[in-house]
Amino acid sequence: MTSTVAPDIPALFTPAYYQDPFPTLAWLRDHAPVHEFPFPVGDVRTWMVTRYEDVRAVLADSRFSAEGATWGNAEFRAAGLVSAAGTILERGIAVIDPPDHPRLRRLAMSAFTTRRVEQWRGTVHAVVERALDDCERRGAFDVMDDYAGEVSAGVLGAILGFRIERHRELVTALNEAFPSDPALMDRVPAAFGRICAYAAELIDDKRSRPADDLTSALIDATDEGTRLDGDELTGLVAAFIMGGSDTVRGFIGNAALALLDNPGQGDRLRAQPELARSAVEELLRYEGALSTALFRVTTEPVELAGARLPAGAPVIAGLLAANRDPRRFTEPDRLNITAESPRHVAFGHGLHNCIGAALARMEGEIAIPALVARFPTLALAVPRDRVRYIENWAIRRLTSLPVTTSTSRHA
Amino acid sequence: MRAAVRVDRTLCYGTGLCEAMAPAVFSLTDEGYAVARPAGDRAAGPERLREIAECCPAGAITVTGPGAGTT
Ligand code: HEM
Ligand code: SF4
């Protein structure tokens, strides 16, 4: 058993790890690909998986259940690690197994296929242009709040039909729903509760005043007898809010930083906007918005890459680690927006792979090239070492990304 | 006649969802795309195949034939 990594390398989920996880992930891939360690919340015995092949294997194998509430051991449940425990999201789409999962998924998926999201292309363009105009007026701005946040919330809000002024409240709730600081665990249930309450409110609103939006369409589909009950409908809308806002925001921020760090790649994208598609795939691989999947728990004793896991064991699939695995990708730590790489796992794999992937891709393909095109001399407004990541074990995003533009018209 | 299942590999994202739901029907190739196994459609009923097609994020799975409805 190894519970720590080499002495000069930060242990998992420590402050130093969050700012630069790559040395730790590389060490683990090489020396302890299925690494047992005490999870910072409750010191629960947990296994971190870091190689591409193993990550895909875990996410495709039904012995690794997404239902922590059902299969997690007593220690896991007592530490409060069952996500959304006590709210309707405890049975949300991301944390249930078949046969319930496909029942919810097929209804939810119908709204988000590649073909269906095309209808929102105009919306995404409009939201992006509006946000860019606003940033241009400011001259200096924060990519996270003033751009990525506006785009992700604006698009999701338009699709679901919600009022934008609620967004900041929701962002706070989202941050509190996924803490990594044990001291903040007590806020988790309330945060999930607020997100669910907001989804319920939105559904009530649309029941009395249906509109041309996804929430109204889901209500219709439910009423037409798709075997979905009211709580499941609320849970689905809450899952879209949880899954579709902070992730897109985080990704656009990470992508902007990656292009600032690799100016040649940014120039290339500006000169050849037709590279948007491959650039977005590469940026997702390089630094997607989720560094791990949600917890899986073993339904029986399992042997994985030589490690023996007992039943009920919490397992974390390292998506970021897998996407930087040199066993799978050539020069994985180098950003190359024209690379035709093998499929990355930034959107997960298997049953629970991201429902919003087509939408997230479209948002990225529009928002990222538009940012570099609008501001050819975009530059960091703070020293590079002041750019910080939030301390969260699953979500990888910047706290802020202050930039300046040459078109500045300081008020 | 049975329901027949087909994967359009130009649409497929290689998410592995179909393989995870019905390994006897679908498999991922080395390039990472899904293919329907030869005669694999015998391993699942039309309703199950349709359910899987509707869970696929790429709309890459088509089910045709008796009881399959239009997908
Ligand atoms: C760049 C942006 C995004 C990234 C990196 C991302 C990533 C992911 C990942 C890795 C998973 C799998 C989690 C697991 O296996 O435990 C997932 C699932 C999910 N995502 Fe996304 N996502 C993004 C955008 C979105 C958007 C825009 C939406 C919806 C509007 C969304 C909704 C969901 C839902 C509902 C699930 C659960 C699917 C299921 O359990 O069947 N995501 N996402
Ligand atoms: S579920 Fe769809 S996208 Fe995923 S591997 Fe199967 S066919 Fe391809």
Domains present along chain A, CATH in parentheses: 41-404 (1.10.630.10)
Residue B71 in any domain: the answer is no
Portion of chain A with pLDDT greater than 70, in percent: 94
Residue B70 in any domain: the answer is no
Q: Closest Cα to residue A265, out of A178, A347, A378?
A: A378
> Strand B61-64 to strand B4-7: parallel, antiparallel, or no bridges (unpaired)?
antiparallel
A291 touches A21 (CB < 8 A): yes
Residue B69 in any domain: the answer is no
Rounded to two decimals, the pTM is: 0.94
| Of the candidate ranges A87-96, A170-179, A262-271, A332-341, the one whose mean pLDDT is the lowest | A170-179
Residue A355 has pLDDT above 90, yes or no: yes
Q: Give pLDDT, residue B70.
A: 47
Q: Express each pLDDT in A74-121 by its tens digit.
A: 999 998 888 777 788 888 999 999 999 998 998 889 888 888 899 999
> Which residues make beta-bridge pairs with B63?
B5
Residue A240 has pLDDT above 60, yes or no: yes
- State the DSSP string of A381-396: SS-GGG--B---SSB-
Distance of CA A47 to the CA centre of its chain: 20
Q: Give pLDDT, residue A225.
A: 64
Say yes or no: A47 contacts chain B, CB-CB below 8 A: no
| Cβ pair A351:B17 closer than 8 A | yes
With CA atoms as reference, the chain A residue closest to B21 would be: A351
Say yes or no: A106 contacts chain B, CB-CB below 8 A: yes
CA of A75 vs chain B CAs: smallest distance (Å): 29
Pick the ligand that lies closest to the CA of residue A108: 1
Q: Give pLDDT, residue A326.
A: 98
Q: Give pLDDT, residue A223.
A: 72
Number of structural domains found in chain B = 1
Residue B32 in any domain: the answer is yes
CA of A322 vs chain B CAs: smallest distance (Å): 15
Residue among A106, A348, A350 whose CB faces B51 most closely: A106
Q: How far is the CA of A37 from the centre of ligand 1 (A)?
A: 26
Residue A341 has pLDDT above 90, yes or no: no
Q: Give pLDDT, residue A217.
A: 86
B48: Cβ contacts below 8 Å, ≥ 6 apart: B22
State the Cα–Cα distance between residues A292 and A160, nearest whole angstrom.
26
Residue among B16, B32, B58 whose CB faces A113 most closely: B58
Domain that holds residue B42: 4-64
Average pLDDT estimate for A356-365: 96
Q: Give pLDDT, residue A180.
A: 55
Query: Measuring CA to CA, how many Å separate A111 from each of A10, A100, A358, B9, B59?
Result: 42, 18, 11, 21, 11
List the single best residue of B52, B55, B56, B71 to mutate versus A (max A Cβ within 10 A).
B55
Residue B43 in any domain: the answer is yes
Q: How far is the CA of A324 from the centre of ligand 2 (A)?
A: 23
| Of the candidate ranges A50-64, A245-259, B26-40, the one whose mean pLDDT is the lowest | B26-40
Strand ranges for A20-154 from DSSP E: 34-38, 45-49, 64-65, 141-142
| Cβ pair B20:A60 closer than 8 A | yes
Q: Express each pLDDT in A25-40 by its tens digit.
A: 999 999 999 999 999 9
> Strand A402-404 to strand A141-142: parallel, antiparallel, or no bridges (unpaired)?
antiparallel
Residue A302 has pLDDT above 60, yes or no: yes
With 0-12 CB in 10 A as exposed, 13-18 as middle and 19+ as buried, what is A61?
middle
Task: Report cis status (omega within 30 of 0) of the bond before A99.
Answer: yes
Average pLDDT estimate for A52-62: 97
Q: How confident is the model at residue A242 (pLDDT cuts 50, 70, 90)?
A: confident
Residue B41 in any domain: the answer is yes
Kindly state the DSSP code that residue A403 receives in the 8-state scheme.
E
> Could you tell me the CATH number of the domain that includes residue B59?
3.30.70.20
State the Cα–Cα distance between residues A288 and A254, nearest whole angstrom.
7
Residue B37 in any domain: the answer is yes
With 0-12 CB in 10 A as exposed, 13-18 as middle and 19+ as buried, what is A235?
buried
A352 lines ligand 1 (CB under 6 A): yes
Q: Express each pLDDT in A163-221 by its tens digit.
A: 656 767 777 787 777 665 667 778 878 888 888 998 999 999 999 999 888 998 888 87
Pick the ligand that lies closest to the CA of residue A367: 1
> Which residues make beta-bridge pairs with B7?
B61
Mean pLDDT score of chain A, rounded to an integer?
91
Average pLDDT estimate for A296-321: 97
Q: Closest Cα to residue A347, out of B24, B16, B66?
A: B16
Residue A410 has pLDDT above 70, yes or no: no
Q: How far is the CA of A188 from the centre of ligand 2 (A)?
A: 34
